[in-house]
């Protein structure tokens, strides 16, 4: 059998087709990164510092802000250095660590929406038992299985990717995305493709169906009971907007690697980047604006800051 020397160091060539214009891409991604950091930090600070917001839904929104704050940190700085200063190298170990954290935090964007949909279900369909069912010790039975699922699924396909032998080391991406790394492997990658498909089915697709089912029950309950719960539906609409946008971007990125298509490589890299980065910018703005309690507390905090600022 021929002895294959596997590469242990990779070159990230995302947006290489742009040539000398490649550094220009730095500007929009840098601005989005700054918006994600500032918006999520502000949202997290407002929820944590305001005792009136220490309610289950606000805490879940704060958890979403924490995820959206951490996720870009694991890949955007490295990507920006690659675009601006042409620092493209990454080791196999660094690649696997980056991949694990990206996908681990990325999965919780949909998982948190599942928990939010359960919160809305309890608030609208069983309002008398809401606080009892949303008590931490009771709600853990909905949280722990999904956390274990995410950990097992991510560890499975990242571990399988790390066991491959790599014949090429030029990765057409700006960070270590699972399929971008698997494409560089020697021989069959059927097991890796299957693991990726299983992870997608059991995490974002499963989460989507749970969310969709809960909102079907919620809307049916509201239609039967009249307009008494109309205000509570306001948050549901926000969740539907977020999950629809996030899932659409994720599916485009996912399918672009698994279905033959004529998409330019730069477009494929763009969608793979945006499905991670855009929700981190989009979520805090949407939740901050559409959640009235958080919006009111933000306005109070900003008003107080302006009134107490020293006059020049």
- The answer to whether residue 19 scores a pLDDT higher than 90 is no
Which pair of tokens denotes residue 168?
A: 């090429």
Give residue 97's pLDDT band: very low, low, confident or very high (50, 70, 90).
Answer: very high
Higher pLDDT, 105 or 296: 105
Tokens 């571990």 belong to 159
pLDDT at 2: 44
User: Once rounded to an integer, what is the mean pLDDT over residues 58-82?
Assistant: 90
pLDDT at 232: 57
| Cα distances (Å, whole numbers) of residue 162 to 42, 88, 94, 147, 157 | 37, 20, 11, 22, 9
In terms of average pLDDT, the best of 10-19, 95-104, 246-255, 257-266 is 95-104
3-state DSSP call for residue 170? Answer: strand
Torsion sign (Cα): 144, 59, 116, 125: positive
DSSP 8-state code for residue 166:
B
pTM of the predicted model as reported, rounded to 2 decimal places: 0.84
**Structural domains in the chain plus CATH codes:** 25-301 (1.20.1070.10)
Calculate the CA 154 to chain-centre distance: 14
Distance CA 140, CA 184 (A): 40
Give residue 142's pLDDT band: very low, low, confident or very high (50, 70, 90).
Answer: confident
Of 65, 51, 46, residue with least CA distance to 304:
46
pLDDT digit string, tens, across residues 247-295: 777 777 777 666 666 667 777 788 888 888 888 888 888 877 777 778 7
Distance CA 3, CA 308 (A): 71
- The answer to whether residue 63 scores a pLDDT higher than 60 is yes
3-state DSSP call for residue 195? Answer: helix
pLDDT at 106: 86
Name the packing angle between helices 292-308 and 56-73 (round to 10°): 70
- The answer to whether residue 302 scores a pLDDT higher than 80 is no
* Consecutive H or E run containing 81: helix 76-85
pLDDT at 234: 64
Give residue 230's pLDDT band: very low, low, confident or very high (50, 70, 90).
Answer: low
Q: Around 99, how many Cα atoms within 13 Å sit in the side-chain half-sphere?
A: 26
Cβ neighbours of 148 (radius 10 Å): 10
């Amino acid at each position: 059998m021929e002895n294959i020397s596997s590469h242990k160091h990779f070159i990230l060539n995302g947006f290489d087709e742009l040539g000398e214009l490649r550094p220009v891409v730095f500007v929009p991604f840098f601005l989005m990164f700054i918006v994600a950091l500032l918006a999520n930090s502000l949202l997290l600070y407002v929820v944590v510092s305001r005792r009136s917001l220490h309610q289950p839904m606000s805490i879940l929104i704060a958890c979403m802000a924490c995820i959206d704050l951490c996720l870009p940190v694991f890949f955007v700085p490295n990507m920006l250095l690659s675009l601006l200063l042409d620092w493209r190298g990454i080791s196999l170990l660094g690649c696997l660590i980056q991949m694990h954290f990206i996908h681990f935090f990325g999965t919780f964007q949909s998982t948190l929406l599942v928990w939010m949909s359960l919160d809305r279900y309890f608030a609208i369909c069983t309002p008398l038992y809401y606080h009892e069912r949303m008590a931490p010790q009771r709600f853990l039975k909905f949280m722990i299985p999904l956390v274990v699922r995410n950990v097992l699924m991510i560890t499975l396909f990242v571990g399988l990717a790390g066991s491959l032998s790599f014949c090429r080391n030029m990765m057409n991406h700006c960070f270590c995305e699972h399929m971008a790394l698997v494409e560089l492997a020697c021989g069959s990658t059927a097991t890796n493709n299957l693991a990726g498909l299983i992870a997608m089915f059991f995490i974002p697709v499963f989460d989507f169906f749970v969310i969709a089912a809960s909102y079907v029950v919620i809307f049916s309950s509201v239609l039967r009971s009249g307009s008494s719960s109309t205000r509570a539906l306001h948050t549901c609409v926000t969740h539907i907007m977020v999950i629809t946008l996030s899932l659409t971007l994720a599916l485009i990125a996912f399918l672009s690697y698994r279905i033959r298509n004529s998409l330019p490589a730069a477009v494929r890299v763009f969608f793979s980047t945006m499905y991670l980065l855009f929700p981190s910018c989009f979520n805090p703005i949407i939740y901050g604006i559409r959640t009235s309690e958080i919006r009111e507390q933000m306005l109070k905090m900003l008003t107080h800051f302006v009134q107490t600022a020293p006059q020049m």
